């Protein structure tokens, strides 16, 4: 994959490999997940942990990246899904003054129980009201 990437400016060997397996070879679903896929993902994580390539084989219709994102942003039962408090929203607004849109960094430092997507989406929603 390194040699392929050398021929494509601004693409890493990882970019090329992902593109090949996720899009060029086909067979992977895009769009909303169905209940069966979610169930197979939960089962795969229970069996194999966070070995996403192996979990993806268990799911059968999604890539390792898709499985990791679905788990980390939606299905992980450890995610904090409670309502955001006013103090948390204020912390989020202040954090963006320092870290900008570095959502992963903000999530890690200030909201470790929430998903990166939840942090980003909460800011987008609160930004509508705070200007």
**pTM for this predicted structure:** 0.71
Asked whether residue 131 carries a pLDDT value surpassing 80, the answer given is no
Structure confidence by residue, pLDDT tens digits, 94-127: 999 999 999 999 999 999 999 999 999 999 887 6
Closest by alpha carbon to 53, among 42, 68, 38?
Answer: 68
**What is the pLDDT, as a whole number, of residue 129?**
55
* pLDDT for position 130: 54
Contact 64, 52 (CB under 8 A): yes
Tens-digit pLDDT profile for residues 36-94: 999 999 999 999 999 999 999 999 989 899 999 999 999 999 999 999 999 999 999 99
Question: Phi/psi of residue 11, each to 5°?
Answer: -120, 130
pLDDT of residue 75: 97
Assess contact for 59 and 40: CB atoms under 8 A. Answer: yes
DSSP state of 73: I
Residue 68 and residue 94: Cα distance in Å, rounded? Answer: 29
What's the pLDDT at 41? 98
Integer CA distances (angstroms), 73 to 4, 90, 120, 130, in order: 32, 22, 11, 25
Q: What is the pLDDT of residue 18?
A: 75
Rounded Cα distance between 73 and 99, Å, is: 21
Cα three-residue angle 5-26-116, rounded to 5 degrees:
70
pLDDT given at position 127:
64
12-49 pLDDT, tens digit per residue, is 988 887 777 666 666 688 899 999 999 999 999 999 99
């Amino acid at each position: 994959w390194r040699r392929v990437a050398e021929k494509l400016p601004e693409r890493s060997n990882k970019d090329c490999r992902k593109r090949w397996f996720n899009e060029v070879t086909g067979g992977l679903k895009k769009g909303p997940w169905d209940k069966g896929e979610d169930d197979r993902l939960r089962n795969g994580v229970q069996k194999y942990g966070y070995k996403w390539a192996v979990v993806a084989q268990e799911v059968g219709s999604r890539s390792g990246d898709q499985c990791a994102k679905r788990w980390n942003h939606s299905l992980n039962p450890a995610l904090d899904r409670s309502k955001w408090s006013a103090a948390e929203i204020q912390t989020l607004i202040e954090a963006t003054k320092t870290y900008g849109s570095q959502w992963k960094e903000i999530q890690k430092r200030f909201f470790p129980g929430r998903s990166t997507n939840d942090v980003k989406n909460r800011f987008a929603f609160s930004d509508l009201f705070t200007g």
